[in-house]
A and B are shown apart, each in its own frame.
Chain A
């Protein structure tokens, strides 16, 4: 398949705009550097290659990688919590697992404790609700549940949020050189 010259130029511009948009806030000088370098290239193929690389580079800066770390960790936490809740039904251990994941997420991203806590804490109710809807119960006894009954497990959001807040305070203490929360 061949791409016309006009399409290559448009595609290169799209990649470059994307890179510049992502980098302008955190790294304006580097955004300008990539753009100016792209304008030095006369060959459309080369310019397209360069621009697509710049778009890729905009995801490889320290800020971009840090921004990616939290959603990945939150997703991993939710998956871990779901796997545990799916395979076991021990309330005390559930609280312990919630608190452990919550503290870790709070440490990683102190500013999003409420979101982290709500996401992790809601997993128990969500998994139980899913079991009620699908009647898939792999690990423990079958008994009659209603979605209303399962909704009470949103109570786990409270310890999850508390754990995240504790983790965020611990994180601030660890990061602050004087030992005082910032």
Chain B
């Protein structure tokens, strides 16, 4: 039996941030600044979301010459649906992810 765990507040904060700009590819560093999470928390969450098919990643050229390409992320259609369903669930109660985003 596969048990579905409720996402952590860090995961919800990342999903919310990605859902706010669903078509834009976002870089790890900017995403970590937006949600107020360190890279140590950000990457394990991104890896899990990617494993579950909720997040897509691609390499994009750096806008700074001479720097290597950067990994960029955005939600898949499943990820958007999942993030919206989480928003619905947490709409009526104060979201703990607000604390992270604050």
Contact = CB atoms under 8 A, between A and B. Distances in A.
B71 A32 contact: yes
B7 interface: no
A39 interface: yes
Nearest to A36: B68
Interface string A52-85: 1111110011100000000000000000000000
B85 interface: no
A43 to B, nearest CB: 11
B28 interface: yes
Contacts of A41: 29
B18 to A, nearest CB: 16
A55 B39 CA distance: 9
Interface residues of B, number: 22
Given A40-B29, A41-B29, A56 B71 contact: no
A94 B57 CA distance: 53
A44 to B, nearest CB: 15
B94 interface: no
B64 A40 contact: yes
Given A29-B57, A57-B43, A60-B44, A37 B27 contact: yes
A149 interface: no
B39 A54 contact: yes
B40 A36 contact: no
Interface residues of A, number: 24
Interface in A1-45: 27, 29-30, 32-37, 39-41
A47 to B, nearest CB: 10
B68 A53 contact: no
Contacts of B69: 36
A60 B29 contact: no
Given A29-B57, A37-B29, A40-B29, A57 B39 contact: yes
A56 B57 CA distance: 21
B37 to A, nearest CB: 9
Contacts of A30: 43, 46-47, 71
Given A34-B43, A41-B29, A49-B39, 10 more contacts: A35-B68, A36-B70, A37-B27, A37-B39, A37-B70, A51-B39, A53-B38, A56-B39, A56-B40, A57-B41
7 contacts: A33-B43, A40-B27, A49-B39, A50-B29, A54-B39, A56-B39, A60-B41
Interface of B: 27-29, 38-44, 46-48, 51, 57, 62, 64, 67-71
